[in-house]
Amino acid sequence: MKRLPDTELEVLKALWTLGPDTARAQLEEALVPFGWAPNTVNTYLKRLEEKGFVSVRREGKSNRYTPLVSREEYLAFDSQAVLSRLYGSSPRNFVAALARNGLKQEELDDLQALLDELNGGRN
């Protein structure tokens, strides 16, 4: 797997949210905030298709798009990639870097809860 450029990733994120077999119009709707020209989403979808991240199905006049890589799969890959790029593959280092900008108490609590959960499956 390879990391996606920002724009393609945004399209894929929208597709994850909208689910499988989503029409182009839906995608464009969801991506309005980016202020792209209409055809731009088209371009990114095509590239995602070429890279094997989405499949296209013809339905009469229009297309339906389906993600071939799930959010979970991609995130698992991406998080790993991020870690090895700069953090010596150490989760701790990453969180430590974050902490430099300050972490809210809530974020700390969330992390703690997750750790407890992960540790729970230990025995």
Partner DNA sequence: ATTTTTCTACTTCAAATGTAGTATATCAAT
Partner DNA sequence: ATTGATATACTACATTTGAAGTAGAAAAAT
Residues that bind its own copies (CB under 8 A): 6, 9, 13, 72, 75-76, 78-80, 82-83, 85-87, 90-101, 103, 105, 107-108, 110-115, 118-119, 122
* DSSP letter assigned to residue 102: -
Which residue is associated with the tokens 């088209």?
Answer: 42
Which residue is associated with the tokens 């609590």?
Answer: 109
Shortest Cβ distance from residue 5 to DNA (Å)? 3
Question: Which residue number, 37 or 118, has a Cβ lying nearer to DNA?
Answer: 37
| Contacted entry of DNA, its own copies, none for residue 50, CB cut-off 5 to 8 Å set by kind | none
Report which secondary-structure segment, H or E, holds 41: helix 38-50
CB 64 within 8 Å of CB 72 = no
User: 42, 55, 52, 56: which is closest to 11 by C-alpha?
Assistant: 42
Shortest Cβ distance from residue 24 to its own copies (Å)? 23
Residue 84 tokens, joined: 């090895």
| Contacted entry of DNA, its own copies, none for residue 26, CB cut-off 5 to 8 Å set by kind | none
Shortest Cβ distance from residue 106 to its own copies (Å)? 10
